[in-house]
Chain A
Amino acid sequence: MTRNTQPLSLRVPEPSGRPGDAPDFSGLKLDVAGAVDRPPVDSRPVQMTDLAFRLVRVLDDEGNAVGPWNPRLDPDTARRGLKAMILTRAFDDRMHRAHRQGKTSFYMKCTGEEAIAVAQGMILSREDMGFPTYRQQGLLISRGYPLATMMNQIYSNAADPIKGRQLPIMYSARDFGFFTISGNLGTQLPQAVGWAMASAYKGDDKIAITWIGDGSTAESDFHSALTFASVYRAPVIINVVNNQWAISSFQGIAGGNETTFASKAIGYGLPSLRVDGNDFLAVWAATQWAEERARTNQGATLIEMFTYRGAPHSTSDDPSKYRPADEHDQWPLGDPIQRLRQHLTLIGEWDDEQHEAALKEAVEQVRAAGKESEAIGTLGQSRPSVKEMFEEVYATEDWRITEQRGEVGI
């Protein structure tokens, strides 16, 4: 046996910058727009492993849509997407302020990540099922889910659709293809795969889509889901939203410095794409590609959505304590709203006036919903009947709950 001649040392990865440092994104490998091939959807995963290390981009720096992934989106659809992203951001801003005003206990923004849920929510049908984590509010918003209903849950008021039983933002909207959100990270992934397996088992035509953060890919359930998705060829789209941060831990702590998150699918024999998540058109194109695979019974695709979490993790978080203050502003892939705006403007389908009007309209819409919801009550002003606490634990109530309800006097 050989003895070590030198002492070992433990490596703990560190991000490229901490508070006070200048943001440094020089380590990122970013393909220019249009550089990455678009393989036919029936390509075998082993023939396209390079896509897991590249970056699918459509919009170039000037706002042109270029290259083989250009989805050639019709301007009306693109405008609807832009407006939905604007509305999502306006909603986030108001709810974040509502927290500061003590109207809710908690809120989580998706600032900078709007393109992902909005585009994907628009592409897939409501008959399909989305298994979201907590930054996919854009999915509900892009599908016209009532903003006031979302707020009612955020305020835990008498009209809370979840009857006061769940955290704000952990929505559930079956009719909108939006599965109930769990606070336990990663659990939705094997569930999404199981749902997709069930559709295939029944010979139906529905597919599932799910999202997980970069940090949460370290959870066993991520790996469970990829195994099941691969083995049973489940018609599911699995998105890893790599927004660089998991609360204060940078993506390297989940293994993101050793390889890309997209490449994690390769060992499972799944096709994977790494996509500019701030590029609405790239998100659109990649999702359509994965959707077509799923709908033609070719199984699952993993998409790493490469983006940046602009806002604090949640209302309980202060990112200035762990990352350079202006890191988000320096993000080399820009802002999804600005980039789609620039594109539509460039092709003559949008202008500053329209943009201003859209911003105003979004704020108005959110304000109107806010008024409607606040009239019912904000946190502590009104709430669902306490009897809801005891209901729907079981399909039929058992004697323990009946007795305990009696102790409360209801």
Chain B
Amino acid sequence: MSEAYSPADQHDGIDPDMADATETPASISEGTGVVPMNMIQALNSALAVKMTEDPNVLSFGEDTGFFGGVFRVTDQLQQKHGLTRSFDAPINESGIVGAAIGMAAYGLRPVVEIQFADYIYPAYDQIVSEAAKMRYRSGGQFSTPIVVRSPYGGGIFGGQTHSQSPESLFTHIAGLKVVVPSNPYDAKGLLTAAIEDDDPVIFFEPKRLYNGPFDGWHQKPISPWKSQPEAQVPTEKYVVPIGEAKIVREGSDVTILAWGTMVWVSLAAAEHAGVDAEVIDLRTLVPLDIATIEASVKKTGRCVIVHEAPKTSGYGAELSALVQERCFYHLEAPIGRVCGWDTPYPHAFEWEYFPGPERVATALKAVMTGGAR
């Protein structure tokens, strides 16, 4: 499965738009119990369960109906729940989100897909000026409980327009919640919570993790999800609450703050650097679990933030400021940041751009010796 992402495959002519499409159907047969799922299947399961439970939940987006989406997250939903529950939308992101807002104002709970996060910009106005502000600007008369799902992030050789991580643009907007899962179990539980949430939720799916965890060692073999404990997913409904971070590795030397694919990169980097790092998967950027962050940094005295988006004004800048405000007297070194460079996402230089374990390890060693740079 991991080989699907190698540069060699890309050069064999795989369309980046389809790079992650899985050959096995996403949908897992319903029933009770716990079964291994990849992230696509887990997300699909969340949608299927919620759609069965609540007739007000519906799903639409480009290619999401009959075909089930180019990443197959909505696979079989139309066949199971009918044409009006899961359907294809015109290639018009503003229209997709705008219509979802109207539906939500009516009382539905639409879950829309923006095919790649790089294409969320045409819908930006509807998300930022409309969905985010509806309750506030109407004095509480209207609210917009929509979920905007979108595959995001790099590592698939998708070039500039299939690799971006625009999460910070949404964390800046009052009224939005921003969620990023890093494994199948969380993906299902968080998406379920997002659908049930009364606020608009921007739900970014790290597409590099759809089929298996990826630790950034692109030249080393990678195992598929099914060998991971996080792939053991209940077929029934459960919720991972929005707003709770998770300590995925306990450690005493330094706190790493990460989300999405960077959680796995950070775990690999801690091993590689031989540093006893505490790795926190934020899971939700807004609302942020500040208590978990604060407790960890006060314990370790050091902090490194890892994200895929460019460094300048990335969410790492906000986190760094928060840690500084709250933990200054506990810090033994300047806060480190490992991020994408301040360039557009470059196709041929993906592995120089993508923050991998090597760069994170360098930052870890630097904070251990007293200077982040």
Q: Tell me which residues from 182 to 241 in chain B have a Cβ below 8 Å from any Cβ of chain A.
A: 197-199
Closest to B135 in A: A392
B107 touches A198 (CB 8 A): yes
Contacts of B197 in A (CB 8 A): 395
Contacts of B137 in A (CB 8 A): 162, 165-166, 170, 172, 180, 182
Contacts of A86 in B (CB 8 A): none
A228 touches B122 (CB 8 A): no
Contacts of A173 in B (CB 8 A): 141
B102 touches A197 (CB 8 A): yes
Segment with Cβ contacts to B, from A184-192, A244-252, A345-353: A184-192
Q: How far is the CB of B155 from chain A (nearest CB, A)?
A: 31
Segment with Cβ contacts to B, from A73-81, A217-225, A285-293, A356-364: A217-225
Cα of A331 to Cα of B355 in the assembled complex, Å: 65
Given contact pairs A162-B138, A174-B141, A393-B136, A179 touches B84 in the complex (Cβ within 8 A): no
Given contact pairs A165-B136, A172-B137, A392-B136, A194 touches B142 in the complex (Cβ within 8 A): no
Cα of A179 to Cα of B138 in the assembled complex, Å: 8
A198 touches B106 (CB 8 A): yes
B139 touches A231 (CB 8 A): no
Cα of A224 to Cα of B90 in the assembled complex, Å: 9
Closest to B290 in A: A399
Partner of A192, one of B102, B125, B135: B102
Contacts of A300 in B (CB 8 A): none
Q: How far is the CB of B293 from chain A (nearest CB, A)?
A: 12
Cα of A161 to Cα of B90 in the assembled complex, Å: 37
B98 touches A191 (CB 8 A): yes
Cα of A201 to Cα of B102 in the assembled complex, Å: 12
Given contact pairs A228-B90, A231-B90, A191 touches B105 in the complex (Cβ within 8 A): yes
Q: How far is the CB of A149 from chain B (nearest CB, A)?
A: 11
A187 touches B136 (CB 8 A): no
Q: Tell me which residues from 153 to 191 in chain A have a Cβ below 8 Å from any Cβ of chain B.
A: 161-163, 165-166, 170, 172-174, 179-180, 182-184, 187, 189-191
Contact of A193 with B by CB under 8 A:
yes
Q: How far is the CB of A407 from chain B (nearest CB, A)?
A: 13
Interface string of B288-330 (1 = CB under 8 A from A): 1010000000000000000000000000000000000000000
A201 touches B58 (CB 8 A): yes
Contact of B261 with A by CB under 8 A:
no
Given contact pairs A184-B125, A201-B58, A398-B287, A162 touches B98 in the complex (Cβ within 8 A): no
Contact of A196 with B by CB under 8 A:
yes
Partner of A193, one of B99, B126, B139, B140: B99
Contact of B129 with A by CB under 8 A:
yes
B92 touches A201 (CB 8 A): no
Contacts of A196 in B (CB 8 A): 102
Cα of A172 to Cα of B136 in the assembled complex, Å: 11
Interface string of A189-211 (1 = CB under 8 A from B): 11111111111011000001000
Contacts of B100 in A (CB 8 A): 194
Closest to A204 in B: B106
B143 touches A191 (CB 8 A): no
Q: How far is the CB of B145 from chain A (nearest CB, A)?
A: 8
Contacts of B58 in A (CB 8 A): 201
Contact of B367 with A by CB under 8 A:
no
Contact of B94 with A by CB under 8 A:
yes
Contacts of A199 in B (CB 8 A): 106
Contacts of B126 in A (CB 8 A): 187, 190, 221
Contacts of A172 in B (CB 8 A): 137-139, 141-142
A392 touches B139 (CB 8 A): yes
Contacts of A183 in B (CB 8 A): 129
B103 touches A194 (CB 8 A): yes
Q: Tell me which residues from 78 to 118 in chain B have a Cβ below 8 Å from any Cβ of chain A.
A: 84, 89-90, 92, 94-95, 97-103, 105-108, 110
Q: How many A-B residue pairs have CB under 8 A?
A: 141
Q: How far is the CB of A126 from chain B (nearest CB, A)?
A: 13
Partner of A197, one of B99, B125, B243, B287: B99
Partner of B94, one of A162, A197, A224: A224
B139 touches A163 (CB 8 A): yes
Contacts of B108 in A (CB 8 A): 198, 201-202
Q: How far is the CB of B175 from chain A (nearest CB, A)?
A: 6
Partner of A187, one of B105, B129, B288: B129
Closest to B133 in A: A182
Partner of B105, one of A161, A195, A231, A399: A195
Contact of A382 with B by CB under 8 A:
no
Q: Tell me which residues from 243 to 292 in chain B have a Cβ below 8 Å from any Cβ of chain A.
A: 243, 286-288, 290
Q: How far is the CB of B341 from chain A (nearest CB, A)?
A: 29
Cα of A332 to Cα of B219 in the assembled complex, Å: 76
B174 touches A393 (CB 8 A): yes
A162 touches B99 (CB 8 A): no
Q: How far is the CB of A274 from chain B (nearest CB, A)?
A: 25
Interface string of A20-36 (1 = CB under 8 A from B): 00000000000000000
Cα of A370 to Cα of B288 in the assembled complex, Å: 46
Contact of B130 with A by CB under 8 A:
yes
Q: How far is the CB of A305 from chain B (nearest CB, A)?
A: 22
Contact of B134 with A by CB under 8 A:
yes
Contact of A227 with B by CB under 8 A:
yes
Cα of A28 to Cα of B89 in the assembled complex, Å: 39
Q: How far is the CB of A143 from chain B (nearest CB, A)?
A: 16
Closest to B94 in A: A224
Cα of A15 to Cα of B339 in the assembled complex, Å: 53
Partner of A395, one of B105, B125, B142, B198: B198
Cα of A182 to Cα of B133 in the assembled complex, Å: 9
Q: How far is the CB of A67 from chain B (nearest CB, A)?
A: 35
Q: How far is the CB of A229 from chain B (nearest CB, A)?
A: 10
Cα of A393 to Cα of B134 in the assembled complex, Å: 9
Q: How far is the CB of A395 from chain B (nearest CB, A)?
A: 4
Q: How far is the CB of A230 from chain B (nearest CB, A)?
A: 9
B138 touches A180 (CB 8 A): yes
Q: How far is the CB of A60 from chain B (nearest CB, A)?
A: 39
Q: How far is the CB of B131 from chain A (nearest CB, A)?
A: 10
Partner of B98, one of A194, A208, A398: A194
Among A182, A190, A193, the most chain B Cβ lie within 10 Å of the Cβ of A190
Closest to B134 in A: A180
Contacts of B135 in A (CB 8 A): 392-393, 395
Closest to A172 in B: B138
Cα of A225 to Cα of B98 in the assembled complex, Å: 8
A sample of 23 cross-chain residue pairs with beta-carbon separation below 8 angstroms, ordered by A number, consists of: A179-B142, A180-B137, A180-B138, A180-B142, A183-B129, A184-B129, A190-B94, A194-B98, A194-B101, A196-B102, A197-B102, A198-B107, A201-B58, A202-B108, A224-B90, A224-B94, A224-B98, A228-B98, A231-B90, A393-B136, A394-B177, A395-B199, A398-B286
Given contacts A180-B142, A221-B125, list 10 more A-B pairs with CB under 8 A. Answer: A174-B141, A184-B130, A187-B126, A190-B95, A191-B98, A198-B107, A202-B106, A220-B122, A394-B199, A394-B287
Closest 5 pairs (CB-CB, A-B)? A190-B98, A194-B102, A194-B99, A224-B95, A198-B106
